[in-house]
Chain A
Amino acid sequence: MSVRLDGTRNTGFSPSRLFARHNGAIIAILVFAFLLGSVDFISPGPLSYFDVSFLSSGGATSALAAIGQTIVILSGGFDLSAGAVISLVNVVLAKSMDPIAASASIFVWTFAGIGIGMLVGAFNGFFIAVLMMQPIVVTLSTMFIVQGVTLLVMDKPGGFVSPDLGAFYLGDAIPGWLPMPIVVIFAVLLAWLWLKNTRYGTALYALGSDPESARAVGVNVTLTKFLAYVIAGGCYGLAGVFISSQTGSGDPLVGNPLLLSMFAAVVIGGTRLGGGQGGPLGTVFGAYILMLVVNILLVLDVSAYYSTIAEGAILIFAVLAGSLTHSSILAQQLRGARARIAAWRAGRLVSQQEDTDRRLRFSSSANGMISAPQAPFLVRHAETLRYALPAYVGLILVVIVTQIWLGRALFNPGYWNSLLVLSSFLAVLALGQGAVILTGGIDLSVPWTIGLCGIVLAGMVNGSDAALFYALPTVLLIACAIGFANGFGVVFLGISPIVMTLATNGILQGVALLYSQGTPDGFSSPMLRWFMTGKLMSVTPIIFFLIAFGVGAVILLGRTPFGRRVYAIGNSPRAAQLSGIATGRTLILVYMLSAFCAAIVGIMLTGFSGQASLGMGDDYLLPSIAIVVVGGALITGGRGHYIGMLGGALLLTSLQTLLAGTTLPYASRAILFGLVVLVAVLALRDRR
């Protein structure tokens, strides 16, 4: 027996090792099987071939695109342009196919689509790999540029995609047995399997795990990164071809909403954000899990208001299922809790020890300070300035252009007043989102935290200034609870921030709908409205608040123990923990801070608009991330300064103000916006 075991070990096969290595993918497959089984069990008839065929085509677009996203994420990157590329390929195909010519070459159009995707990928890759810029800003800019180009190609739904394409991609590979979408996905996965076992595949994982080590052992980091974006672009292109064949026409907005669920698919599939672990197989099942939710909600007849809540719950459940292993964070936390209780019983907890100073005495002058001469201001803050300045330089340039193009900017107090008022929303969000990003996380629950808080506030205040005194604390408390839930999920359940906050966002949307029954009522009180739109010494009062908030934020992040802990966690959670920081508590506080800031924005927006409306926070998610990064913060955490983020908020708002003052069509504005952001952050690139 033992001989045979050794034998198997020598050939390199062991079930437990296989499981450990493909943990994420296997759990995704199990969850998928369970959900598919439940759908089959609850729905009246057994699953027929037609059902399978429909399901396979329904999830194929997101699965194909998510495979591309996985490859980028494996390399340690992030690609926000994926959805836009799908739309672009869709409209290009629909615009250029000739409705008169009955047949179309599947080969030619497929490769045209993949080619377009790869071109965009090469654009991304150039800026990210060659110029060493941050993926999130580059791909965000690309997203705007591609969306603009898409609208230039086709400004409204229409066009024609040959039915041949549909017949091929949605048809049967083996009639009655094997639908074509499954074959397409399988082919892509096979190609991946080949790629993974080449030197390139090894390099990709090495790069994602540790770029420095990868470079040190001779991996061509630039080329590996560049190719990751090109290959990913090809996958989005193929997804675009697939959705074109599925819809038979073009729609310039079709791909954009796929973006967020794509990240969820990647994470559910067991790929680690940040890179180096996971793979496309799990992602494919992640994408299908998300698609199955549609069917589950239908067979369970979940009412419309509850559907986003159910979706969020399923998302959390699917990820939690991955926590059933010994090494998961949830298991670790449980073991940790047990150990703590045992220690407490035995009286060995630190807090139960005698309260004496146990610090080591290094020298007699421990209190006298080693008084090194303080470096000059510019030297001390060189790094902060280097990363924060580009946003302000960009701001000045935009204002000068506004002055030349539209006039009445530079010396017009009204212009500066509007600019500051409009920036104030993003400036407040920047602290919350910025703090979360500094710890290496991200908060996607911002939109509906804003929405829910605004709606609750408007409903409670209902035009009465007196009601503000209890409504404000209530709303801010609600926000703290939301932030606590996010932080709890991230810290104790070990759910990745992107999934946890995405799920929270869906749940909050459902709560807001249930609370308002679809029609939010109430309106802001006169005082709150005056605060946002009135005048105090010819300046809108919110600007005074903004200045105080800015000073507070700089002190909070730069001069308090809390701020230093945030940076420490962002640089290395492990090192932070070992140096005695209560990382869990700090992280939860950071998410609470983010929700708190979002609630303030909800209150401000309610005052600004006079009332609250559903979806009022939707336009603030991507900008809140963008300003943090434009302001010089590192999306992986540890670097950034609030002053820079504030500059980012001002830059973005001034740019939008400039564009709104023109009569340029939306498409050109989007392209211009993307280009300016891209150029503005060129100065932020990492030099080596």
Chain B
Amino acid sequence: MNFGSNLRQIALGVGVTLGVLGAAQAQAADKHKIYLSMSFIGNDWQAEAANMVKAMAAHKSMADKVDLKVQVAGPNANRQIQQINAMVQAGADAIVVFPISPTALNKVVKNACDKGVKVFAYDAEITEPCAYNISIDQEEAGRVTAEWLVDKLGGKGEIVLVTGVPGTSVDDLRTKAAREVFAKHPDIKVVGEAVGMWSQAVARTELSKILATRTWDDLDGLWMQVGCFTANAMQLEAGKTADQLLPCAGEGANGGRIQMLPAGTEVEGAASPYAPLGAQRISYASPPYSGGLALKLAVQALEGADVPKKTVLPLPVVTSDTIKLCQEGTWAEMKSGCNAFQPSLVSNPGWFASIFSDQTPEIGLPAALVGQPED
């Protein structure tokens, strides 16, 4: 208990504190400077994907390594070109990008690569070979869902297609692959086709237009990129009962997933049509976690790991046989196989439920909802 040792302890303490501070500062300087260039932020999928990227950057394994800055380019490819240039000029180590166009960015991405910046594209692709691409196989998505529908209908019936945004590669690949499947079955007739713009709201107006001159009884099935939730809601409004709902191949909105649960399943916060109906469905999605994964891979690449140029994500497919309700939506719970979320937690039925990847234990339901990482 002598005075000297106390003093030494204090000195030590101060020294340690200073050392920690110094280390923290050094770390701030060492942090990887990563930019996220998003597209138009004003739709549900983009906002959810952005939340997951932010959550990934905030996760404790990343927070002291990554300095993430998020910028929005809007729907304008010309602006994204300018933005990526500006990011390169500002000294980015890596750029994570939701490419507005798969081809228009090629030159600016090449330029970035030449300056040693790593460019990671999520969801949509960039065709420039030096870019890293993280996405699902869109053709597979179109094919698998179309085959499911043909099976359900026994190879015979009149169907309606609701496509995505015309002129984009994603829509083109999915729709073409689906059409090829339908073409092999001469008894499958496509009697109506609408441009759904990947939006539940647009799907409803377009389906209403088709149904102005048809009735639900004339149709046998639906193949939609987005809109099965809405289609089921519309059938209920038209007086159909839950077991009369048409088979629908479509997107991974949580509303649609809840409808797939057997009728009578207990869920919190359900209100028709956002309720278990036992709907005949196959549900797939471009998963919104791809942005978060892109960020994680970018950090790995910056740390010298060997990251492949093309990461093809497994197609998240859920059918009426594999649907399972999550109680809380933690990553661990999703790993054990649940794939639909309580309406009390996810009040927006158009919200995209394909958020699980075994490669991203950092992000779960809170990440997708509010940008909060897992512990």
Are A and B physically bound partners? yes
Residues of A within 8 A of B (CB): 43-44, 50-51, 54-55, 58-59, 61-62, 150-151, 155-159, 166, 243, 246-254, 257-258, 261, 291, 294-295, 297-299, 301, 303-305, 307-308, 402, 406-409, 412, 414-415, 418-419, 421-422, 448, 451, 462-463, 509, 512-513, 516-523, 533-534, 605, 608-611, 613-616, 618-619, 656-657, 660-664, 666-667
Contact B107 A166 (CB under 8 A): yes
- Contact B193 A151, beta carbon cutoff 8 Å: no
Q: Within the complex, what minimum Cβ distance (angstroms) separates B288 from chain A?
A: 11
A669 → chain B, closest Cβ, in Å?
8
**In the bound complex, how far is the Cα of B120 from the Cα of A6, in angstroms?**
66
Q: A-B contact count, CB below 8 Å?
A: 247
Contact status B83-A463, CB under 8 Å: no
Q: Per-residue 0/1 for B232-253: is the Cβ within 8 Å of any A Cβ (1 yes, 0 no)?
A: 0110010000000000000000
- Name 16 extra pairs, CB < 8 A, besides A519-B369, A533-B234: A44-B90, A51-B89, A54-B82, A55-B82, A157-B168, A247-B77, A251-B102, A257-B74, A257-B77, A258-B76, A521-B348, A608-B204, A610-B273, A619-B202, A657-B213, A661-B210
Q: Which residue of B lies closest to A425 (CB)?
A: B205
Q: With A and B bound together, what is the CA distance between A438 and B23 in angstroms?
A: 66
A614 to B212, alpha carbons, bound, how many Å?
27
Question: Are B72's CB and A61's CB within 8 A?
Answer: no
22 A-B residue pairings within 8 Å (CB atoms): A54-B82, A58-B82, A62-B78, A151-B166, A157-B168, A251-B101, A251-B104, A251-B167, A294-B73, A294-B79, A517-B51, A520-B348, A521-B347, A533-B237, A534-B237, A608-B204, A611-B200, A611-B348, A613-B350, A660-B192, A661-B212, A663-B190
Complex contact B347–A523 (CB within 8 A) = yes
Once the chains bind, are B212 and A157 in contact (CB under 8 Å)? Answer: no
Whether B102 and A305, one on each chain, are in contact in the complex, defined by CB atoms closer than 8 angstroms, is no
- CA A165 – CA B290 in complex, angstroms? 35
The 8 A-B residue pairs with the shortest CB-CB distance in the complex, in nearest-first order:
A518-B47, A58-B82, A249-B103, A418-B212, A521-B347, A660-B209, A156-B172, A247-B104
Contact indicator B233/A243 (Cβ below 8 Å): no
Q: Are B193 and A61 in contact (CB under 8 A)?
A: no
Choose one: A156, A298, A609; the contact of B87 (CB below 8 Å): A298
| Bound-state Cα–Cα, A298 to B273, Å | 43
Contact pattern, B 34-75, Cβ under 8 Å of A = 1, otherwise 0: 000010111110011011000000000000000001111111
A666 neighbours in B (Cβ, 8 Å): 163, 166, 195
Q: A157-B101, A519-B47, A663-B191 are in contact. Are A304 and B369 (CB under 8 A)?
A: no
Chain A, residue nearest B370 (CB) = A517
Task: Choose from B51, B74, B201, B212 the contact partner of A419 (Cβ within 8 Å).
Answer: B212
Tell me, in angstroms, the Cα distance from A518 to B50 when the chains sit together: 9
Residues of B within 8 A of A298 (CB): 69, 71, 83, 86-87, 90
- Give chain A's interface secondary structure class: helix
Chain B minimum-CB-distance residue to A244: B104
Q: When A613-B43, A661-B213 are in contact, do A304 and B71 touch as well, CB less than 8 Å? A: yes
Counting chain A CB atoms within 10 Å of each CB, the highest count among B72, B105, B206 belongs to: B72
Cβ A522 vs Cβ B85 within 8 A: no
On chain A, the residues within 8 Å of B201 by CB distance are 605, 609, 613, 616
Least CB separation from B75: chain A residue:
A257
| Interchain CB contact under 8 A, A61 and B78 | yes
Contact present for A246 and B81 (CB under 8 Å): yes
Is A254 within 8 A of B77, CB to CB? yes
* Option from A54, A251, A613, A660 in Cβ contact (under 8 Å) with B199: A613
Contact status of A248 and B213, CB under 8 A, knowing A54-B86, A519-B348: no
Contacts A257-B76, A304-B70, A520-B348 given; does A660 touch B206 at CB 8 Å: yes
Chain B residues with Cβ under 8 A from A295's Cβ?
Answer: 82, 86
Judge whether B276 is part of the interface by a CB distance below 8 angstroms: no
Complex Cα spacing A261 to B202, Å: 25
Residues of B within 8 A of A522 (CB): 347-348
Contacts A304-B50, A522-B347, A614-B47; A249 near B38 (Cβ below 8 A): no
Partner of B47, one of A307, A513, A657: A513
**B106–A523 contact, CB under 8 A?**
no
Q: Nearest-CB distance from B90 to chain A (Å)?
A: 6
Q: A43–B91 Cα gap in the complex (Å)?
A: 11
A-binding residues in B (CB < 8 A) = 38, 40-44, 47-48, 50-51, 69-79, 81-83, 85-87, 89-91, 101-107, 127, 163, 165-169, 171-173, 190-195, 197, 199-202, 204-206, 208-215, 230, 233-234, 237, 271, 273-274, 347-351, 369-370
In the complex, chain A residues whose CB is within 8 Å of the CB of B71: 294, 297-298, 304, 307
Q: Which residues of A contact B348 (CB under 8 A)?
A: 519-523, 611, 613
Give bound CA distance, A577 to B84, whole Å. 50
Q: In the bound complex, do residue A408 and residue B213 qualify as a contact, i.e. CB atoms below 8 Å apart?
A: yes
CB distance from B226 to the nearest CB of A (A): 11
**Nearest CB in chain B to that of A293: its residue:** B79
Q: Can you name the residue of chain A whose Cβ is closest to the Cβ of B273?
A: A610
Which residue of chain B has the shortest Cβ distance to A414 in the bound complex? B212
Which of B81, B87, B103, B167 has most chain A Cβ within 10 Å?
B167
Q: How far is the CA of A257 from the CA of B48 in the complex (A)?
A: 23
Q: Which residue of A lies closest to B71 (CB)?
A: A298
A409 vs B190: C-alpha distance in the bound complex, in angstroms?
20
The answer to whether A414 and B208 touch (CB under 8 A), given A254-B78, A663-B192, is: no
How far apart are the CA atoms of A248 and B107 in the complex, in Å?
7
Instruction: Tell me whether B200 and A261 are in contact (CB under 8 A).
Output: no
CA distance A616 to B348 in the complex (A): 14
A409's nearest neighbour on chain B, judged by CB, is B213
Compute how far the CA of A307 lies from the CA of B41 in the bound complex, rounded to whole angstroms.
10
Contacting residue for B168 out of A43, A156, A308, A519, CB 8 A: A156
A451 adjacent to B42 (CB under 8 Å): yes
Residue B213 contacts which of A43, A407, A618 (CB distance < 8 angstroms)? A407
- Which chain B residues lie closer than 8 Å to A663 at the CB level? 190-193
Q: Is the beta-carbon distance between A661 and B209 smaller than 8 angstroms?
A: yes
B213 and A301 contacting across the interface, CB-CB below 8 Å: no
Known: A533-B237, A609-B200. A422 touches B209 (CB 8 A): yes
B169: which A residues are within 8 A, CB to CB? 156-158
Q: Nearest CB to that of A518 among chain B residues?
A: B47
Given A249-B103, A660-B206, A518-B82 contact (CB < 8 Å): no
Q: Is the CB of A307 within 8 A of B72?
A: yes
Q: Could you tell me the distance in whole angstroms from the C-beta of A607 to the nearest C-beta in chain B? A: 11
**Contact between B101 and A253 (Cβ–Cβ < 8 Å)?**
yes
Measured between beta carbons, the chain A residues less than 8 angstroms from B105 are 247
Q: In the complex, what residues of B have CB within 8 A of residue A50's CB?
A: 89
Q: Which residues of chain B come closer than 8 Å to A451, judged between CB atoms?
A: 42
User: Does B104 contact A249, Cβ atoms closer than 8 Å?
Assistant: yes
How far, in whole Å, are A619 and B83 apart by their CA atoms in the complex? 26
Among A151, A301, A421, A516, point to the contact of B167 (Cβ < 8 A).
A151
